[in-house]
Structure 1
Amino acid sequence: MKREKKILLWISAVITLLIAGTLVWFNLPYSPNKAEFKKLTSYQIAKMPNPNGIFCTEDIAKLPAPVQKYFQYCGYIGTPKMSNMQVYYNDVDFVLSPDKPKLKIKYIQYNFIDEPERIALIDSSMYGIPFEGIDAYQNGVGSMKGVIAKSFTLFEQKGAAMDKAGLVTCLAECLLLPNLALQDYISWTEIDNTHAKATITYYGTSASGIFTFNDNVMMTSFTTDDRANIDTNGNLQKVKWSAVCGDYQAVNGIKYPTTLKAVWHFAAGDLVYFDGRDVVIKYNVEK
C-alpha cells in the first residue's frame, strides 16, 4: 500500500508540475507566433524606401471625382507621403466561421507601399488558452495561420485563392494608406459621384472592387467578388465580400475611420466576422 501511495503522490506531483508549467507558458509574453510576426514586419520595414514627397493636387488630378474629394476631405493634400502604415484594432469581435462563437481579439497590421504587402497578427484566447494567428501577403503569396496554446497549428491556408484574397485586401485598404492608391499597379475607373472602381495588378494577378462614398465624401465601404471564402477546413466558395468603415475622427489634422467591419455576404445572410472599434492608424513606422 505504501508503494502504491508513493506512486500516486509522484503522479499527482508530475501532473501538478505539468499544469503549473503550462500556465506559466501561457502567461509568458513570448510566443513563437509573435516572434515570427516581429521578424516578418522587421524585414519589411528594413527594406522599405524612405518617404519622399508631399501629396499635391496634381497627384490626384486623374483619380475619380469621389476619390479626389476623399483625399481633400481627409486632409492629405499638403502632407508627407508615406511608405507604410501600422493599424491597431484594440477592440474586435471576431468569428472564425458561422458555426463558431465570437472571440474578443486584438489585431495589429502593417501595410507597405513599395510592393503591395501586408502582415497582420491576431492575439486572443479560447477558454483561457492563447489563440494567435498571422494573416500575411508577401511576395505575391497569401497565407492565414491559426495557432493555439502557442504551439499547435489549428489551420494554415495557402494557395492561389489566398494569393488573390491577400492582393484584394491590400486594395481594400488603399484609401487608408493613400499613397498606395497612387501607385502604378492600381488603376481607377469613375462610376458616378459616390462610386469608383479600382483594380490592382501585381505578381501576374489582378483583383477589383468598388469603393462607395457618402454625400459627405467619406469612404464608407469596399465590395468585391474577388475574395474567396476559405473555411478552417480549407473548403472554398465564391462569396461577395465587403469592408465597411465609419466614425471618422481627426488625428493630427488627418481624418480616418475608427471603426471597420469585414462582411461575408452569404446566400443565407450576411456574416460580420470582423467588427473592429477603437482603431488607431500610424504612418511611416520604423520599428
Structure 2
Amino acid sequence: MKKLYLAEVNKEIIKFKDKPNEVLTEKDISHLPTLVQNYFRYCGYIGKEKINNALVEWEDVYLKMSPTKDWIPLKCYQFNSVTEPTRIVYMTSKMFGIFPFEGRDKYHEGHGNMRIKLLKMFTVADAKGKEMDEAALVTVLAEALFVPGYALQDYLTWTTIDDTSVKGTISFNNTEVSGVFYFNGLGEYIRFETFDRHYSENGKEYKNVKWTGICGEHKEKNGIKYISGFSGVWNLEDSDFEYFKGKVTNITYNAKELID
C-alpha cells in the first residue's frame, strides 16, 4: 500500500517539475468573498508563490472505528494537488497493537476510493462508487484552505452567507458537493460543516449525516500561517462522534522532487 501511495503521488509530482512559479497577487483573489480574501491576507499568502500542490506532515494521529471503540494511533502521510481536485492519503497502524494494517484514501481523476489491507496481503475494504466520490470530494473541499490554491480554481465557487461564514461548492466529473466555512474575528478558518458525506455503521448502507471538520490553531512558518490540526466529527442524532484527530507539523507547498 505504501508503494502504491508513493507511485500515485510521484506520478502527480512529476507534472509540476517544469511548472513555473507564479506569484499570488491581490488581483488573483479579488473575485473571492471578503472572508476568504481576508484569510489569504491573514495567512501571508499574498506575494508568495501560488500553491499547486502540498505534502502534509502529520503526527499524533488517531482514528476511532465506531463510537464504542478505542482510539487507534496512526501514521499518516498526505498529498494534495489543485490543478484537478486530488487528495491521496496513506495510513498505517497495528490492529490490537500486533497485526499491521494499511489504508490508502484518495480522490483522483474524479473518483474516490478507500482501500484497506491487513497483514499487507488481505484486502478488507475497497470502497468506491457514488457515495465515495462525494465523500472524498467534500473532504477535498474541507481542506481547501489548508491548500489554498484550491480556492482559486474554476471548479470551486463561493457564496457569502454572513459576516462569519461562506459556502463553498465543488463541481467536478459530474459530482457536486458543498459545505460552509466558518471564520473567527482574526480571520482564521475554524470550522467546516456539510451534509454531503455519507455515514455507514456497517460499510454497506449509507445515510446523509451532518459532518463537521474542526481546525486547530494557526501556526506560522517561513512567513505563512497554516492550520496546525484537524478533527472530524459525525453529528449523529443522539450524540457527536469524533472519529479522527491529528496535528499538522508541516506543509510543504509546490513539491517538485519525488518522495520515497
Bin of the TM-score, shorter chain as denominator length: over 0.9
Q: Distance in 1 between matches of 2:202 and 2:222?
A: 40
Q: Is the 8 A contact 1:51 1:284 kept in 2?
A: no
Say which SS state the counterpart of residue 192 (structure 1) adopts. coil
Aligned residue in 2 for 1:276? 246
TM-superposed CA distance for 1:204, in Å, is 1.3
Q: Distance in 2 between matches of 1:232 and 1:147?
A: 17
Q: How does 1:207-286 map to 2 (within 5 A)?
A: 207-231=177-201, 233-286=203-256
Aligned residue in 1 for 2:106? 136
1:155 corresponds to which of 97, 100, 125: 125
Q: Which runs of 5+ in 2 are unaligned?
A: none
Q: Distance in 2 between matches of 1:238 and 1:51?
A: 42
1:63 corresponds to which of 32, 55, 59: 32
The one-letter code sitting in structure 2 at the alignment partner of 1:179 is G
Say which SS state the counterpart of residue 226 (structure 1) adopts. coil
TM-superposed CA distance for 1:279, in Å, is 3.1
Report whether the alignment pairs 1:40 with 2:8.
yes
Aligned residue in 1 for 2:46? 77
Instruction: Count residues with an aligned counterpart.
Output: 255
Q: Is the 8 A contact 1:50 1:83 kept in 2?
A: no
Q: Is the 8 A contact 1:258 1:279 kept in 2?
A: yes
The one-letter code sitting in structure 2 at the alignment partner of 1:42 is N
Identity %: 40
Q: Is the 8 A contact 1:51 1:81 kept in 2?
A: no
Q: Distance in 1 between matches of 2:160 and 2:24?
A: 21
Q: Which has the higher helix share?
A: 1
- 1:25-64 Cα offsets, whole Å, 9 max, x none, are xxxxxxxx11111111111112347254211111111211
TM-superposed CA distance for 1:284, in Å, is 1.1
Aligned residue in 2 for 1:17? none
Q: Distance in 1 between matches of 2:21 and 2:158?
A: 23
Runs of 4+ in 1 over 4 A off after TM superposition: none
- 1:61-117 Cα offsets, whole Å, 9 max, x none, are 121111111100000000001210111111112112223321001111111011001
Report whether the alignment pairs 1:86 with 2:65.
no
The one-letter code sitting in structure 2 at the alignment partner of 1:66 is L
Report whether the alignment pairs 1:175 with 2:175.
no
* Structure with bigger RCO (C-alpha 8 Å, 6+ apart): 2
Larger Rg over CA atoms: 1
2:72 corresponds to which of 79, 94, 103: 103
Q: Is the 8 A contact 2:56 2:248 kept in 1?
A: no
Q: Is the 8 A contact 1:85 1:284 kept in 2?
A: yes
TM-superposed CA distance for 1:180, in Å, is 1.1
Seen in structure 2, the aligned counterparts of structure 1 residues 212 and 116 have a Cα distance that, compared at 3 Å, is: same
